Structure 1
């Protein structure tokens, strides 16, 4: 199992986060993931990290597929792969209509079909093909007197940058298993993973090109070593409430749908009702304790080792830890110990 670090998207002191990422790299971290959401863009921060780090991979987690043209997405990935010396992974996702239509002013439609077309376009660009593409959603070049097929001027470091698709719904998960190097999961409950995702993963893998290699499954997990302390997980509980209640409209909230499929239908509805009615503290309190515990990794080393074994049994191959300790020194120390505890590392 690889060890990754999941950064937050709301911090303002990125220079300090980069300093800490360098220490995580020295402590054994293999990967750092930079989110985007509707915060600062991921690309500028990934470029900064490319200059500060030396060995760890870098990944976007995730770049929304609607807000850049497919060709710009390919160019950006190739550029980040170049400045990092071949260490970039393109984390790509559809986000949701609330962000795409509400913040970017772009229509949210056909996420599965658009994802498939964008992945194909990116790979053609990285192979330096003269780009022509006729899809249901993208046509390159456009018809007209002035458009002509082109290929990227530079020679990409690699002809295939690894693509990690963020997905929660069955069709998107199946697509990730079919066409991507990796699947970025969210709120993964290892006890329910096979029941909720097993059929979609099997369906996608049945059409997977062997040249892609085994599917990498990554999952972000809040992490701390020590006696379980509810205070450590209050931010995780609050983030669950935000995503279940506020990251999407009623009837169009992908995180809420996922948690319902885990078996928390009544609880998910209550959190959403409270959140959307403005009772946010009550929404946070209504997040089920069992869900908070199942989607985090907090405890003494033996507890953490058992949690890691459960994630590995669920198919997870990359752990994206969000260290929760109060001080930077404690966080770096915890990551070094987590590196030692990972399956296959001890």
Structure 2
């Protein structure tokens, strides 16, 4: 099992660009396989990856994720091919649906038929990255437009990798099956190892629909990790970001992270947390979060406890574990990267 490092949402970490670069270079020095950047309504992860491409040499660079509604599929393909050229074939294109709160509130688009849109989107991205003339007709996308002045075009720049890996960030059963069918990797967020193992069946079902296996498929969950002798302190350090996901990452009707917590058996407290968070009572939302919920959706505690949890991810079939670190300072984050690498290396 390889390690990845998540820069998370650049603007929320409280670190300067130079400090983020220091962390990525340290992850590269420690042997981390990949570094990933996310997208909400702040910094652009593709720009970050292009910037890091010229300042690193070995570590793979990925978007986790680019929001599909935010850019047309051929634009995503151009971005991916460009960054892959800049970094010498180290890029991974991670894509995601986002949710109605952001898609409708920020991009001004309807959150409609996301699975159908994702299928069409990935098909066009693959066609463009293969430098084939793009001609596609699906339920949600037709290129070129019929009865128009449009013409078939092919991508004018060639990515180093053929094929360039495409990942999907999905949570629900049908979306996970689609990931197994059309993607090269899976980016679930805050999944406990037991749930990752259970979802492999859905990935396999999707792969079977496409007449393939999961050989070479990258199961790459993203999880917050903290090595800390004081377990109660570790839980408390995890609560703010977890409360944001379960309480504020979505609307009252559509919060996929909250729905995941419910599927894991925490429906009542997830509902209580969301009510408090959306009412502006973030402290109450964090207080409503049980240690058991934090334990399920993160990895934290003394080294032996973290080692046991990382081993469980490996046994669940995880091939890349992407870790997010939560301490507020550069020094403490550097220390966490080192300690996590040491524990993972001892498995």
- Fold match by TM threshold 0.5: yes
Check 1:324–1:254 CA distance in 2 against 1; reply closer, same or farther (3 A cut): closer
CA contact (8 A) 1:180 1:212 kept: no
For residue 327 of structure 1, report the CA deviation from its aligned partner: 4.9
Q: Mean alpha-carbon deviation: is it higher for 147-156 or for 231-240?
A: 231-240
CA contact (8 A) 1:29 1:335 kept: no
In structure 2, the residue matched to 1:300 is 302
Of 286, 289, 304, 1:287 maps to: 289
SS of residue matched to 1:7: strand
CA contact (8 A) 1:224 1:323 kept: yes
Q: Mean alpha-carbon deviation: is it higher for 42-51 or for 211-220?
A: 211-220
For residue 166 of structure 1, report the CA deviation from its aligned partner: 0.2
Per-residue Cα deviation, 1:77-122 (whole angstroms, up to 9, x for no partner): 1111111110010010000000110111111111111111111111
SS of residue matched to 1:319: strand
**Separation in structure 2 between the aligned mates of residue 221 and residue 136 of structure 1, nearest angstrom:** 34
Structure 2 unaligned runs (5+)? Answer: none
CA contact (8 A) 2:170 2:186 kept: yes
**Separation in structure 2 between the aligned mates of residue 45 and residue 155 of structure 1, nearest angstrom:** 21
For residue 301 of structure 1, report the CA deviation from its aligned partner: 2.9
What does 1:47-66 align with in structure 2 at a 5 Å threshold? 47-66=50-69
In structure 2, the residue matched to 1:149 is 152
SS of residue matched to 1:284: helix
For residue 75 of structure 1, report the CA deviation from its aligned partner: 0.7
In structure 1, the residue matched to 2:125 is 122
CA contact (8 A) 1:270 1:283 kept: yes
In structure 2, the residue matched to 1:5 is 5
CA contact (8 A) 2:235 2:291 kept: no
In structure 2, the residue matched to 1:107 is 110
For residue 210 of structure 1, report the CA deviation from its aligned partner: 3.7
Of 171, 181, 184, 1:181 maps to: 184
CA contact (8 A) 2:7 2:324 kept: yes
CA contact (8 A) 2:8 2:36 kept: no
**Separation in structure 2 between the aligned mates of residue 304 and residue 201 of structure 1, nearest angstrom:** 26
Per-residue Cα deviation, 1:267-287 (whole angstroms, up to 9, x for no partner): 111111212222221011111
**Separation in structure 1 between the aligned mates of residue 55 and residue 72 of structure 2, nearest angstrom:** 28
**Separation in structure 2 between the aligned mates of residue 274 and residue 334 of structure 1, nearest angstrom:** 31
Of 240, 248, 251, 1:249 maps to: 251
For residue 16 of structure 1, report the CA deviation from its aligned partner: 1.3
Count of residue correspondences: 344
What does 1:26-175 align with in structure 2 at a 5 Å threshold? 26-175=29-178
Structure 1 unaligned runs (5+)? Answer: none
In structure 1, the residue matched to 2:208 is 206
